[in-house]
């Protein structure tokens, strides 16, 4: 039943949105570049701003942020090493890094954590005593991912086809950098925007992110030559879905060894979040910078499909590796 809930509540909606984009593009040729611009300049900034403003950030969760950052760096090193062993060029290496260092935590990760910790065995007498802690940890992981996916991820995508200077110029012309600054400023000053006319705008745009990004991915799938026999995409999926949670487990144990152990709930949440598939944004970045679009698309679609199996295993393993009692 739990597997069925994960598939129907989290994986299936993503596949439906992708199918809508695929079918629409088949019967009415759509401008994916315009959709990408809309996402980069309007929808994504609103999503980031809204997510940070509603997040319950506690300084005690700093170590969660640091672990998530360390995991991202470790995955980057592993991906770079694999690319060198395979003798890939720089642009392909950056495409691999964007598909493995970052994850789809913005919708699938958060939704999955919410689903897991509001159902058995975490549902006790109709109450969800572990939900708040799990969501706080997941939110910190989400913030870390948003900060680096939409800055470092953009840089890496551009670096594959542009010089570092030109890439930075492109990034600084995008509103994401300024959105992050504004969001943390509003958060630090305790400014409440929920009662202003701007708040419904942020909410609506944030809610549109998943649908728009996944439909854009569906359009790109139709226009790409997807090969499920591509060994490069399988390598990326292995790093993202198998190596990532293994590294997360090792880092959780390392944090405990150095005197900063996480609670079982926090550990389970980190482990689950580390198992989430590649982000659809990486395809938009590849389209924007024309950097190995087919590979980026294959990584996202294959890891999303495979995650229906691997995420179920990750949830089960998290309870064994980090038991509540």
* 107 has a pLDDT exceeding 70: no
Out of 125-129, 248-252, 267-271, which region has the weakest mean confidence (pLDDT)? 125-129
Structural domain harbouring 165 = 2-321
The confidence band for 10, taking pLDDT boundaries of 50, 70 and 90, is low
CB contact at 8 A, 170 and 138: no
The pLDDT value recorded for residue 207 is 80
Residue whose structure tokens are 């897991």: 116
CATH number at residue 65: 1.20.1530.20
- CA-closest candidate to residue 255, choices 170, 322, 169, 175: 322
Percent of the chain with pLDDT over 70: 93
Average pLDDT over residues 88-114: 86
The confidence band for 98, taking pLDDT boundaries of 50, 70 and 90, is very high
Residue 166 φ/ψ region, left for φ over 0, alpha for ψ in the -120 to 50 degree band, beta for the rest? alpha
Look at 109 and 63; give whichever has higher pLDDT.
Answer: 63
Using DSSP, state whether 195 is helix, strand or coil. coil
CB contact at 8 A, 148 and 57: no
* Counted domains in the chain: 1
Out of 47-51, 126-130, 166-170, 201-205, which region has the weakest mean confidence (pLDDT)? 166-170
Query: Other CB atoms closer than 10 Å to residue 190's CB: what's the count?
Result: 6
Strand partners, 124: 127
- CA-closest candidate to residue 299, choices 110, 29, 79: 79
The pLDDT value recorded for residue 6 is 62
Inter-CA distances, 275 with 67, 310, 313, Å:
14, 8, 10
Out of 86-100, 241-255, 280-294, which region has the weakest mean confidence (pLDDT)? 280-294
Q: What confidence tens digit (pLDDT) does each residue in 24-64 have?
A: 988 887 887 788 788 878 887 888 788 778 777 666 688 99
Q: What confidence tens digit (pLDDT) does each residue in 216-262 have?
A: 878 877 877 777 778 999 999 999 999 999 999 999 999 999 999 99
The pLDDT value recorded for residue 179 is 84
Average pLDDT, the chain: 85
Look at 103 and 150; give whichever has higher pLDDT.
Answer: 103
Cα separation, 192 vs 188, in Å, equals 11
pTM exceeds 0.85: no
Q: What confidence tens digit (pLDDT) does each residue in 137-189 have?
A: 888 898 888 888 888 888 888 876 667 777 677 667 778 778 878 888 888 88
């Amino acid at each position: 039943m739990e597997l069925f809930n994960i598939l129907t509540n989290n994986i299936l909606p993503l596949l439906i949105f992708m199918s809508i984009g695929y079918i629409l593009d088949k019967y009415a040729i759509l401008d994916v570049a315009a959709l990408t611009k809309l996402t980069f300049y309007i929808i994504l900034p609103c999503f980031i701003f809204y997510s940070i403003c509603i997040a319950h950030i506690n300084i005690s969760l700093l170590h969660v942020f640091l672990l998530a950052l360390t995991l991202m760096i470790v995955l980057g090193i592993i991906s770079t090493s694999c690319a060198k062993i395979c003798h890939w060029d720089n642009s392909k290496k950056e495409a691999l890094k964007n598909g493995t260092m970052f994850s789809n935590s913005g919708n699938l990760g958060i939704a999955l954590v919410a689903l897991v910790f509001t159902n058995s065995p975490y549902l006790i007498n109709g109450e969800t005593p572990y939900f708040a802690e799990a969501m706080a940890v997941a939110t910190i992981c989400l913030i870390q991912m948003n900060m680096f996916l939409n800055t470092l991820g953009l840089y890496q995508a551009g670096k594959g086809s542009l010089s570092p200077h030109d890439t930075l110029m492109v990034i600084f012309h995008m509103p994401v950098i300024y959105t992050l600054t504004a969001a943390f400023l509003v958060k630090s000053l305790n400014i409440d925007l929920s009662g202003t006319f701007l708040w419904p705008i942020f909410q609506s745009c944030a809610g549109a992110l998943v649908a728009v990004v996944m439909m854009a991915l569906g359009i790109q799938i139709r226009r790409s030559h997807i090969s499920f026999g591509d060994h490069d995409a399988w390598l990326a999926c292995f790093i993202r879905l198998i190596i990532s949670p293994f590294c997360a487990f090792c880092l959780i144990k390392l944090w405990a060894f150095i005197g900063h152990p996480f609670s079982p709930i926090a550990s389970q949440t980190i482990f689950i979040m580390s198992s989430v598939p590649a982000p659809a944004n990486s395809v938009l970045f590849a389209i924007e910078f024309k950097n190995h679009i087919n590979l980026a698309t294959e990584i996202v679609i294959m890891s999303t499909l495979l995650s229906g199996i691997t995420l179920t295993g990750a949830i089960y393993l998290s309870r064994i590796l980090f038991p509540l009692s």
